[in-house]
Structure 1
Amino acid sequence: MEKLWRWYANKSFMLKMTAGFALGVVAGLLLKEHSSLLTPLGTLFLNLLKMIVIPLVALSLIVAVNHSNPKDLGRIGLKIFPLYMITTAVSVVVGIALATWTNPGEGLSLPTDANVNPPDKPSFIDTILRMVPSNIFSALAAGDILAVVSVSVIVGLAILIMRHSADLKQQEMGELLYKIMEAGNEVVTKILNGILQYAPIGVFGITANTFGSQGLETVVSLGKFIGTSYAGVIILLVVVYPLIMKSFGVKVVKFYKDIKEAIFTSFVTSSSLSTLPISIKAAERAGISERVARLTLPIGATMNMNGTALRLGVAVIFAAEIVGVSLSVPELASIVIVGTVTAVGIAGVPGTGLIAMSIVFTQAGLPIEIVALTAGINVLVDMIFTCGNVTGDLVSAKIVDQTEKWQEKKLLNQLHKG
């Protein structure tokens, strides 16, 4: 048994994950509806990731803030948020342009028995207020990542101020708290390493259930929508992201090799938040400084939804074709704006793409009943859209890190000259 464990543990993570995925596909196609028997394997994996994500985000941010200073935090924020907005808007445009060419809604009709209630559109003020929870422990228990991020930054800043206080007692308490947080962060990392050993089994369970539960008829009828969705994210990965990275001097092929585990995990789990622990480890391999990675990735997992934004662009054209509506250039421009804001406001958990579609359809005056038409293949398209989301988070983090390194190099050169 020990030899078997050593053999398994020594295999590369990607090899084990690929094997789990491939075996899951085969099991799903063979077992069909009976593949639900394997669901607990995948549910356990997702539960383990969700269990670790809140302490990981909280402790990582507190430690990262203490590796920086308030000036650095402000500078990184001023870089990352505009980058999120730009890449999200570009993703909506790519989705609209590609769907206009492929016509994914051609030949389909509006479902007559669909009943979808339009969700409330989250306002900017509501989003800001969500960042300050009335009860910290309730926010932690509910897994409200936006609240956890803001509270962690506040706690981190408080500890940082104590550590640099003129009062000796404040310094000692600050250092003690910092060491406790560092120790806690190390414990979380050890637990994460154990979870990753189980990951291939979890991937097997998730994949088997996904492919076993999706009827072939549904997949074939919405083949164009699925194909356009996958093609759109592939364009983001092989054209849009590389062009952005090249302009900042990033070695694209090496970067993708370094983050491949995060890309694969996001595809299988369909959750940006569940993938976050793997994304943070991948960022370290990609040479992104801990300070930048641990500050930007938790925020990106909540706010930077490039794949979801692309989905909205595809979905609007899809819906317009079904009802026979021709959208004007000003209408498309407004959809880009609404889609960008909606994608940024949607949390990184599975299924939120359907909610985002409902919001954008309502704003565009399109029947939200069409959302029900895509619900059957939501799992399949969520996989690729989440892949676009997570890759976008890592690309943005790498670009910010690159500019930070340029700035540090510039300061060093000025000091040498001085």
Structure 2
Amino acid sequence: MSKITAKSVLKSYKSMIFLIIGITIGCIIGLVYGEKAKVLEPFGQIFLNFMFTAVVPLVFFSLSSSIAKMSNMKRLGKILSNTIAIFFITGIIASIFIIAVVTAIPPAEGVSIDMGVYEESSQMNMLDQVVKALSVSDFNLILSRNAMLPLIIFAMTFGYCISYVSKKRGLINNPVVDVLDICSDALMKMINIIMLYAPVGLGAYFASLIGTYGSELLGAYTKAVVMFFPICIFYFLLAFTAYAYYAGGVKGVKLFYKYIFPAVITSLATQSSIATLPTNLAGTKKMGVPDDIADIVLPLGATIHMDGTALTTLMKIAFLFGIFNMQFSGLGVWATAIALSVMSGVVMSGIPGGGMMGSLIIVGFYGFNTEVIPIIVTIGLLTDAIATMINATGDAVAAMMVTKRVEGKNWVDKIYDEQNIEVEVTI
């Protein structure tokens, strides 16, 4: 096997290096010029708009073509059942993890803010939220990043129907499948072109974010924000390493960390799982996840798999309980909080700044005084980036685990052979 040289490393990571340089320059500009750096936000918004414009058709064509090409519908059922099970299990693990942390270290302990007395009001109708999350009232509404779950359901059903009709008519090579496949590849190429602008776009976006919110780290909620970042980093390193190890042992861990960082950087910059989806798809497929698994797990995960949202939502709830001197303890309280965090993730996922809307859901659900909204919204803004990073990278490692369940435990060995990877890397 050939050794990995410094030149080959530079070539492999050239795009990521340019991304880091652009973001670093943006951060410096934000720190130096403060709120004046917000003038650069339109350059970052252009990048986001390009990504959002391409991501909806990308999800539709990649998902529908993958399912339409499946000759074995049992494989589809196996992928979906394992995906939902893994999403559920990892979500519960994330929730238990953060509940244990905020119980041991209450985020609002020592914070003295007079927000009046808590008065319980009527709770939000969660069934209405479920209806809005799963469906839209008209076809044109499905062509929006705000309706990703209905789009995914439509694309999967459409792909299945194409496959069914092809078999019924005895078609070996269905031209419709070829069209879907070509469109999927073309959109991936378009994403690659858009990513050439990423160092400028993400750098400008970071300059605006740092310039606008950097000073907000000072205040009564500093403790909650500051403790949340190491919590997420610790969860990322502990849980995702364990998940990658489950998926492929030591080799699986190496593959995960080799290809995950472009998704880490994009998610931190855009604060959107949907905007990170193209980068995540490319990286996950390099990890060796089969196309049909990646094309199903990642779009679905960007909509309903929200480990990071669970972490931040439960942190906010615990913080508000502390402000109003309420006990954040007991199975009933925890179960309600977990259910709310999951619902917030499904409804608000994929939206930049979606953590802000999630904060409003929390306040409305529990009936907290509206005076807490600026505090809880600021916590959401400051933690949304790293929470989104957990969401997006969690989808990638979930795809690896699904691959193991579908392809067998030796799937990672095939990838090492195909990519000519050595266990010991020499620079």
Q: TM-score, normalised by structure 1?
A: 0.86
Q: Any idea what SS the aligned residue of 1:144 has?
A: helix
- 2:253 corresponds in structure 1 to 252
| 1:356-376 per-position Cα deviation (integer Å, ceiling 9, x unaligned) | 344345555654643320323
Determine if contact 2:271/2:385 at 8 Å carries over to the other structure: yes
User: Which stretch of the first structure deviates more once superposed, 280-289 or 80-89?
Assistant: 80-89
User: Which stretch of the first structure deviates more once superposed, 392-401 or 218-227?
Assistant: 218-227
CA distance in 1, matches of 2:365, 2:216: 31
Matches within 5 A, 1:344-359: 344-359=346-361
Q: Supply the AA of the counterpart residue of 1:57.
A: V
| 1:137-162 per-position Cα deviation (integer Å, ceiling 9, x unaligned) | 33114651112111111221122123
CA distance in 2, matches of 1:84, 1:220: 35
Q: Any idea what SS the aligned residue of 1:348 has?
A: coil
- 2:398 corresponds in structure 1 to 396
CA distance in 2, matches of 1:317, 1:232: 15
Determine if contact 1:269/1:275 at 8 Å carries over to the other structure: yes
- 1:39 corresponds in structure 2 to 41
CA pair 110-373 structure 1, distance change in 2 beyond 3 A: farther
Matches within 5 A, 1:49-88: 49-68=51-70, 69-88=72-91
Residue 403 (structure 1) shift: 1.2
Matches within 5 A, 1:222-233: 222-233=221-232
| 1:328-386 per-position Cα deviation (integer Å, ceiling 9, x unaligned) | 32323432343334434432212222333443455556546433203235333111000
CA pair 29-404 structure 1, distance change in 2 beyond 3 A: same
Matches within 5 A, 1:19-418: 19-68=21-70, 69-105=72-108, 106-110=110-114, 120-123=124-127, 127=130, 130-141=133-144, 143-165=146-168, 167=169, 171=171, 175-214=174-213, 216=215, 218-250=217-249, 251-330=252-331, 331-363=333-365, 366-367=368-369, 369-406=371-408
CA pair 78-367 structure 1, distance change in 2 beyond 3 A: farther
CA pair 101-277 structure 1, distance change in 2 beyond 3 A: same
CA distance in 1, matches of 2:198, 2:42: 13
Residue 98 (structure 1) shift: 1.9
Q: Any idea what SS the aligned residue of 1:249 has?
A: helix
CA distance in 2, matches of 1:381, 1:359: 16
CA pair 273-74 structure 1, distance change in 2 beyond 3 A: same
Determine if contact 1:346/1:356 at 8 Å carries over to the other structure: yes
Q: Supply the AA of the counterpart residue of 1:269.
A: T
Determine if contact 1:89/1:337 at 8 Å carries over to the other structure: no
- How big is the alpha-carbon RMSD for the aligned residues of Structure 1 and Structure 2? 2.7
Residue 274 (structure 1) shift: 0.7
Determine if contact 1:110/1:370 at 8 Å carries over to the other structure: no
Determine if contact 1:218/1:376 at 8 Å carries over to the other structure: no
Q: Supply the AA of the counterpart residue of 2:165.
A: M
User: Which stretch of the first structure deviates more once superposed, 267-276 or 367-376?
Assistant: 367-376
CA distance in 1, matches of 2:87, 2:164: 29
CA pair 374-267 structure 1, distance change in 2 beyond 3 A: same
Determine if contact 1:261/1:282 at 8 Å carries over to the other structure: yes
Q: Supply the AA of the counterpart residue of 2:337.
A: I
Determine if contact 1:118/1:368 at 8 Å carries over to the other structure: no
Residue 189 (structure 1) shift: 1.4
CA distance in 2, matches of 1:143, 1:338: 19
CA pair 390-142 structure 1, distance change in 2 beyond 3 A: closer
CA distance in 1, matches of 2:410, 2:35: 56
Aligned residues between the structures? 393
CA distance in 2, matches of 1:109, 1:317: 15
CA pair 385-18 structure 1, distance change in 2 beyond 3 A: same
User: Which stretch of the first structure deviates more once superposed, 38-47 or 73-82?
Assistant: 73-82
Q: Supply the AA of the counterpart residue of 2:282.
A: K
CA pair 36-337 structure 1, distance change in 2 beyond 3 A: closer
User: Which stretch of the first structure deviates more once superposed, 223-232 or 304-313?
Assistant: 223-232
Q: Supply the AA of the counterpart residue of 1:319.
A: L
| 1:306-328 per-position Cα deviation (integer Å, ceiling 9, x unaligned) | 10100122112211221122233
Determine if contact 1:139/1:147 at 8 Å carries over to the other structure: yes
Q: TM-score, normalised by structure 2?
A: 0.84
Determine if contact 1:303/1:346 at 8 Å carries over to the other structure: no
CA distance in 1, matches of 2:328, 2:362: 14
CA distance in 1, matches of 2:269, 2:285: 22
- 1:413 corresponds in structure 2 to none
CA distance in 1, matches of 2:11, 2:298: 28
CA pair 17-377 structure 1, distance change in 2 beyond 3 A: farther
Residue 398 (structure 1) shift: 0.8
Alignment equivalent of 2:16, drawn from 1, 14, 17:
14
Q: Supply the AA of the counterpart residue of 1:160.
A: S
Which runs of 5 or more residues in structure 2 are unaligned? 1-9, 412-427
| 1:74-101 per-position Cα deviation (integer Å, ceiling 9, x unaligned) | 2211111122122122222222222233
Q: Supply the AA of the counterpart residue of 1:332.
A: W
User: Which stretch of the first structure deviates more once superposed, 293-302 or 206-215?
Assistant: 206-215
